[in-house]
Structure 1
Amino acid sequence: MFSPTFTITPSVATALMAIEGDRQAIMELPINVEVLAGLRHTARLAATHYSTQIEGNRLTQAQVAEALHGAHFPGRERDEAEVRNYHRALEYVESLATAEGPIDELQLRRVHGLVQDGKAAPSPYRPGQNVIRDAATGRIVYMPPEAHDVPALMGDLFKWLNRCLSSRELPIPIVAAITHYQYATIHPYYDGNGRTARLLTTLVLHRAGYGLKGIYSLDEHYARNLHAYYAALTVGPSHNCYMGRAEADITGFVNYFCQSMADALGAVRARAADVQDRTPGRDDSALLRRLDPRRRRLLEFFRDRGTATTTEMAAYLSISPRTMSALARKWVDDGFLEIHDPSRKARSYRLSPSYDYLINR
């Protein structure tokens, strides 16, 4: 059933070239650890605010930041819970970004569980039909697939996605765009589909090397022009999924997504360069460029902890303890880690002096 078509138009090709140029430039920016942590924090806050705002959340960005630190706003309890849940889901997605193997359908059901209930329990797909209505007029604007078709459609989506990530036959931004479109098309839950679709897109980009240290978010670009976002997603000759949407030409949404991503990367490239220029201190870029995404994440972990066991690091990175033990041995040899406590039962590690200096100077 999933067989949309698209064309790589000149505007899409231009956006893809801009994405690659900014991606490379951002990866080479001389960003030190403090600046990187600040930019990542800002991006997480923006993603949480704008992705929930798209769905009607009434908290301002400043209030979102306060709510994440425990503040309460009378009459806004549901909004508070929504932003806290989304932030937990985003942190979980970022932990999955460094996991091994294909992107798992069960993992995304856990993401939805966090979005809806704040718990990493896999959400069951909707048992019945739902419709999307225009908030102002009440008219039906989209009727998703029937409930009995959802499991097979989701299975097909994840098979297609992982095949694309493995083969790299399509540019990754286009894979992310189609994944977003198809998840929204299936609409596997009664609620939370938009937030989960955007988180899935984030995971796809991170897994394929387009996470860019976690310092940008596409959600702000969607939220600033919701009409364009929804218009791009409205594809096909009918509001009924079975009447043309599955085979529709989705060039418009691919174009919209790639343009949004190019705009987001261009903005964050300028912001990161500006912040780095205004931040005193040495250039840490050479050391940071030597680190893969897992070790970059561990810099923040060790900044808060000082020392850690392989079990603790494995839990933080969402990998198996056995895999973490092998990595720890390799990273000691590479000069990233040092053994803090050599005992077999309580063996722990700390950062080597060079990397410890990055986070504690």
Structure 2
Amino acid sequence: MPIEQHGFQPVFSITPAMAGGLMRIEAMKQAIEDLPITPRLLANLRETARLFSTHYSTMIEGNLLTQEQVAQVIGEGQHFPGRERDQDEVRGYYAALDELEQLANNPKEVTETAVQNLHALVMGSGKTRVRPTPYRDGQNVIRDSVTGNMVYVPPEASDVPVLMKDLISWINLKDELPVPLKAALVHYQFATVHPYYDGNGRTARLLTTLILHRGGYGLKGLYALEEYYARDLKAYYEALSLGPSHNYYLGRAQADVTAWVAYFIEGMAASFEKVHAQAKRESAAGGRDQSRLLRNLDVKQRKALTLFEDSRAITARDVAVLFGFQQRTASALCQRWVLEGFLVTADAAKKTRRYHLAEEYEKLLGRTSGVDL
């Protein structure tokens, strides 16, 4: 049953509660921007948020790893026998978060290829080099995992390309719609189109976060909306299940999505308020926020900062252990960082080279430059 018209045209109303939620979001956004968060605390809070996002987004899809185990898989390369698929899922999601951060800082328009690449990373078991995933080529019926009852029949595969093209065009449309509302609608529509056989929910949540970050609602990378969804999965799925029928062609496409948008805005406001309370508590000691300097660093460099908390100098072996790399790979990475001005070689004449931070990045840790030879 091919679609008769193109163009994403969401139907919704802004309720008083929704307007109040938008005001709460703006208030928390400003309050968090004004907090004197130290660079070290900022890095720690960001990493915690990334791990939360990874844990809760995969948990929604049935992943059985605990929050602590997710941290061990990502940070320590821990292996849990019998949980290989779960481990691959969290590695994939975490890798996709890395890509999301780069896309968020890219001024160019969002493309279908970028979204397909996010999906490929989600499904890629932690691989950093993947090929964009093509859309599904057949029908995909969603059933209740307990009862087996049909929950949703998405559009036919032949309609997916045009629906995704319309959605991406709408994402890039310059309009007056508040960014949180746009993010909510993108989440809903991606889940509605269901362009893949698997990984749709995770990709929808990543795309939502990407829209927020690009629109100025990154909140320094400190929040994880996925936690709000996971705390009450029934409410999450009910909010997404709108329309008179479970069939896309029998009302889902034209459904009034006000209930979903209201749910999303409340969750975003609650998440922002939680982050504000946590950041305010943990930044009580004060300190100058140098997030602009942090933004010059890539994901691996920010993580490598933790190596310098207890030592002025590190070796390639330290980097290898931190990331689970081979020694040769870690050595090449350190040499690249020297060329980029992130590291300085402390003792080039010695067989085992040591590196210290460039002076400007020493300031991120509240220190002046120096080397502990």
TM above 0.5, yes or no, is yes
* Residue 300 (structure 1) aligned to one of 283, 302, 321: 302
Alpha-carbon spacing, 1:199–1:182, altered in 2? closer, same or farther (3 Å):
same
Match for residue 268 of structure 1? Answer: 275
1:98 matched to 2:105? The reply is yes
Shift of 1:48: 0.4
C-alpha distance after superposition, 1:117-167 (max 9, x if no partner): 23421001100001100112111110000000000000000000110xxx2
In the TM superposition, 1:40-59 aligns within 5 A as: 40-59=46-65
Task: Give me the whole-angstrom Cα distance separating, in 2, the residues matched to 1:115 and 1:34.
Answer: 28
Q: CA deviation at 1:201?
A: 0.5
C-alpha deviation, 1:28, in angstroms? 1.0
Q: How does 1:155-304 map to 2 (within 5 A)?
A: 155-163=165-173, 167-277=174-284, 280=285, 283-285=287-289, 287-288=290-291, 291=292, 294-295=295-296, 300=302, 303=305
Aligned 8 A contact 2:225 2:268 in 1:
yes
Deviation at 1:283, TM superposition (A): 1.7
Q: What is the number of residues matched between the two proteins?
A: 314
Q: Describe the SS at the equivalent of 1:245.
A: coil
C-alpha distance in structure 2 between counterparts of 1:3 and 1:88, whole Å: 32
C-alpha spacing 1:60/1:185, structure 2 compared with 1 (3 Å): same
2:36 to 30, 41, 61: 30
Asked whether 1:125 is paired with 2:128, we answer no
| Distance change (3 Å), C-alpha of 1:114 and 1:338 | closer
2:9 counterpart letter in structure 1: S
1:351: Cα distance to partner? Answer: 8.3
Q: Does 1:39 align with 2:40?
A: no
Q: Deviations over 1:22-57 (max 9, x none)?
A: 001111110010000110011001000000000000
CA-CA distance at 1:301 after TM superposition? 7.0
Matches of 2:38 and 2:343 in 1, distance apart?
Answer: 25
- Give the direction of change, closer, same or farther, for the CA distance of 1:296–1:263 in structure 2 (3 Å limit): farther
Note the alpha carbon deviations across 1:293-321, whole angstroms, 9 max, x for none. 84375882784799xxxxxxxxxxxxxxx
Query: Partner letter of residue 204 of structure 2?
Result: A
Q: Which residue of 2 aligns with 1:149?
A: 159
Equivalences for residues 60-75 of structure 1 within 5 A = 60-68=66-74, 69-75=76-82
**Counterparts of 1:301 and 1:45 in 2: how far apart (Å)?**
13
Higher relative CO (CA 8 A, sep ≥ 6), structure 1 or 2?
1
* Superposed CA offset, 1:49-98 (max 9, x none): 00000000000000111111211111111111111111111111112111
Q: Counterparts of 1:247 and 1:16 in 2: how far apart (Å)?
A: 25
Distance 1:170 1:224 in 2: 28
Identity percentage of aligned residues: 53
Is contact 1:3–1:246 with CA below 8 Å preserved after alignment? no
**TM-score (normalizing by structure 2):** 0.79
- 2:52 and 2:224 in contact (8 A); partners too: yes
* Distance of 1:44 and 1:200 partners within structure 2: 15
TM-score (norm: length of structure 1): 0.82
Q: For structure 1, list consecutive stretches of 5 or more residues without a partner in the other structure.
A: 307-336, 342-349
Please state whether the residue corresponding to 2:123 is helix, strand or coil: helix
Map of 2:334 onto structure 1: none
TM-fit CA distance, 1:100: 2.0
Decide whether aligned partners of structure 1 residues 16 and 297 sit closer, same or farther in structure 2, where only a CA change above 3 A counts: farther
| 41-50 or 66-75: bigger deviation | 66-75
User: What's the Cα RMSD here?
Assistant: 2.3
| Corresponding residue number in structure 2 for 1:18 | 24
Q: Does structure 2 retain, via aligned residues, the 8 Å contact 1:338–1:352? A: yes
In the alignment, what sits opposite 1:314? none
> Which one has a bigger Cα radius of gyration?
2
| CA–CA distance in structure 2, aligned partners of residues 72 and 340 of structure 1 | 34
What amino acid maps onto 2:52 in structure 1? A
Q: Counterpart of 2:283 in 1: which secondary structure?
A: helix
Provide the C-alpha distance between the structure 1 equivalents of 2:357 and 2:70, rounded to a whole number of angstroms. Answer: 33
2:246 partner amino acid: H
